[in-house]
Structure 1
Amino acid sequence: MLSAVAFFFVMTSYYIVRPVRDQLSGAVGSPSLPLFYGVVFAVMLLFTPAFGLLVARYPRRQLLGWSYSFFILSLLAFAPAFMAQDRIGARQLGVAFFVWVSVFNLFVVSLFWSFMADIFSSLRARKVFSLIALGGMAGAIFGPLITKFLVVWIGVAPLLVVSAVALGLALVILLTISAQHDRQPGSHGDEAVGGSLWAGVRELWTRPFLRYMALLMLFGDGIGTLAYALVADYAKAHIVGNVARTSFYNDLDLYTNLLGALLQLTLTPWLLIRRGAGWGLVLASLVNVALLAGVAWVGGGGVVLFGYGVSVLAVMIVTTRGFAYGMTKPAVDSLYTRVPRETRYKGKNFVETAVWRLGDVLVTSGVNGLHAFGLGVAGLAVVGTGVAAIATVVARRAGWSADLAPETPQQVTKAKHIDE
């Protein structure tokens, strides 16, 4: 419960600054996205050795404290910059803040789940990670709601202070959890992980499981960006007016979060406990294959569901995102409980930060190129179906990778007994 509450505050903090970022990012323009994401990727590479140094030299509580405190102080430092936005310029401030929020989101969330993988066993993770993720889903809903209410009363700059307070509450809870865990027999929380600064990069080439995770990250980014591009084209062609488009995207987020929450409460914990975390990866990939193949077959038109006409593309993006948040993420983080501590922190962090942003650069450039060749909805969906099919094969290998620590028959039997 404490972990779920901590993740609630982490995601609340992020979703408060997300609209602040988005209202400035328009100054960049979509044709500049590949270059823009390239800057983010370069910043991620600079952060990698710094984070590796902290992991190698300092115990878990200090790692959490210093990392989260850095982002809290950064939020507070940006507040006066937003008060002087007219003098600085929306474009300059927007680029700097977009890059910083991209780093903030990935590092803070990745470190949270590295910590969770460090304190929970594989059996316990499969049982509770979907519920902890549900706390984050609640924060993703609460953050925009409190932002919508407060921005009218206090303006944009003070929202960064509110976000810093939320992240500070998350840090206090995480340090409390770490202190409680450190008092348990066999805990290694008071020990530094050790190793080299670049261990995360090195392990990407030496550990098969981490390579599979990197490939899944790239494929998932590709499918997500492709789905976003298809829906954006649909909204531009079929939905008239800013208000209508805003309502459309708001509905997409709402139904995505509802589907993710439903999966986290029902199918995901059952599947992870009864069948193992690997099946959480495989099933979500198969759903992506079916959805993209359907779009390739029928195009981007509408269908009738429960008496209402809805876009096939809207159904696709809600379902792919819902399964990514509600099933894939808990399954991935459960698998990280079966790797060494250095991999949980350094390797996982590298995959979920630098590799993800490399995927942004490659995918946005690739989508622009496919558009230039004149591919429409059906053609892009065919490409996405092929990517999803390859991702299914990689997901099958990742879930049963030979370098994962084995689970004993007693653990498997106990997991099924808990579920029953």
Structure 2
Amino acid sequence: ALLAATLPGVGWLFGWRRRAGAGVVQPGEAPAGAAQDPANPIGGGLLAGLSLLLRSRYLLGIGLFVILLATASTFLYFEQARLVAEAFPERTRQTQVFSVLDATVQALTILVQLFFTGRMARRYGVTVLLTAVPLAVTCGFLVLAMLPTFGVLAGVMILRRVGEYALLRPGREMLFTVVDPETKYKAKNVIDTAVYRAGDAVSAWVKTGIDALSGHPATVALAGAVLALAWAGLGWWLGRRHEGQLGPSAGPPGRAAAAQQR
């Protein structure tokens, strides 16, 4: 019933798109083929999404970004399971702790999305959305390596989850505004399902391997910090590529003005 209730909203958005000309691309404003009437069918075969992914450095970069996101999340979730079991042996208390964490994450996510996400995107561009959270997670892993306590982990988990829902997810969706409809609906589907879940599985194996070789929690945290730093660098590259494809008028005001002057 809840899913069916979204259908009138979808119809209204398509109507608004046609009335406002949001799907009309003028020469020089965006890459050719970036917009298409949603009423028209999308071509391509069953494996088109996978082939599009493998042929594009931009899409491969998004795929690797998703894998690094899954890796950071998996490392933290494994540590959360270990530290929660140590700090709260009783199952009832564990459930209460998880419920408090979830409620905190959801409340903060709503606030950030309402008051900060849109302003950050307009003022600084998608690059900041894609790099701020990985850099914060890098710092969180380093602190966790020095102080492997539940309190530190809870702070890092809240930071990571709020950042993912309120900043990273909108930023990732923005990356697909410069591609054609077939790429948006097929390659994106491959990235969001197969690539993401493969990243979950591989990162779990990597975490298990690190534990077997080292046996010290700090090693996992340091490995997570290194991967999160690479994640931030990739987010910066993707953001710059995205803004470059949109053109100088789409970036933050200061950068756009400078680009027009050049």
**TM-score, with normalisation over the residues of structure 1?**
0.54
- CA distance in 2: counterparts of 1:257 and 1:229, whole angstroms: 21
Structure 2 residue aligned with 1:388, among 228, 236, 252? 228
- CA distance in 1: counterparts of 2:110 and 2:243, whole angstroms: 31
1:393-408 aligned at under 5 Å gives the runs 393-401=233-241, 405-408=245-248
Q: Which amino acid is 1:385 matched to? A: A
Q: Tell me the equivalent position of 1:231.
A: 80
- CA distance in 1: counterparts of 2:240 and 2:159, whole angstroms: 25
Q: Which amino acid is 1:175 matched to? A: G
Provide structure 1 residue ranges, at least 5 long, that are not aligned to the other structure.
Answer: 1-164, 303-310
Residues 176 and 364 (structure 1), Cα distance of their counterparts in 2 relative to 1, 3 Å cut: same
> How many Å apart are 1:171 and its aligned residue?
2.9
- CA distance in 2: counterparts of 1:242 and 1:210, whole angstroms: 42
- CA distance in 2: counterparts of 1:401 and 1:408, whole angstroms: 12
- CA distance in 2: counterparts of 1:402 and 1:181, whole angstroms: 22
Q: Tell me the equivalent position of 2:39.
A: 190
Structure 2 residue aligned with 1:327, among 164, 167, 175? 167
Q: Tell me the equivalent position of 2:55.
A: 206
- CA distance in 1: counterparts of 2:69 and 2:159, whole angstroms: 13
Residues 236 and 413 (structure 1), Cα distance of their counterparts in 2 relative to 1, 3 Å cut: closer
Q: Tell me the equivalent position of 1:222.
A: 71
Q: Which amino acid is 1:329 matched to? A: R
- Please give the root-mean-square deviation of Cα atoms over the aligned residues, in Å: 2.4
- CA distance in 2: counterparts of 1:272 and 1:213, whole angstroms: 18
2:108 is equivalent to residue 259 of structure 1:
yes
> How many Å apart are 1:215 and its aligned residue?
0.6
Residues 198 and 403 (structure 1), Cα distance of their counterparts in 2 relative to 1, 3 Å cut: farther
2:13 is equivalent to residue 177 of structure 1:
yes
Q: Which structure is higher in RCO with an 8 Å CA cutoff and minimum separation 6?
A: 2
Paired residues of 1:252 and 1:314 also in contact (CA < 8 A): yes
Q: Tell me the equivalent position of 2:259.
A: none
2:226 is equivalent to residue 364 of structure 1:
no
> How many Å apart are 1:378 and its aligned residue?
1.1
> How many Å apart are 1:380 and its aligned residue?
0.8
Query: Between Structure 1 and Structure 2, how many residues are aligned?
Result: 243
> How many Å apart are 1:179 and its aligned residue?
4.4
Provide structure 2 residue ranges, at least 5 long, that are not aligned to the other structure.
Answer: 25-35, 257-262
Paired residues of 2:125 and 2:251 also in contact (CA < 8 A): no
Q: Which amino acid is 2:157 matched to? A: I
Q: Tell me the equivalent position of 2:138.
A: 289
- CA distance in 1: counterparts of 2:128 and 2:178, whole angstroms: 16
Determine helix, strand or coil for the equivalent of 1:401: helix
- CA distance in 2: counterparts of 1:243 and 1:374, whole angstroms: 32
Structure 2 residue aligned with 1:244, among 90, 93, 103? 93
> How many Å apart are 1:403 and its aligned residue?
9.4
- CA distance in 2: counterparts of 1:200 and 1:403, whole angstroms: 23
2:179 is equivalent to residue 339 of structure 1:
yes
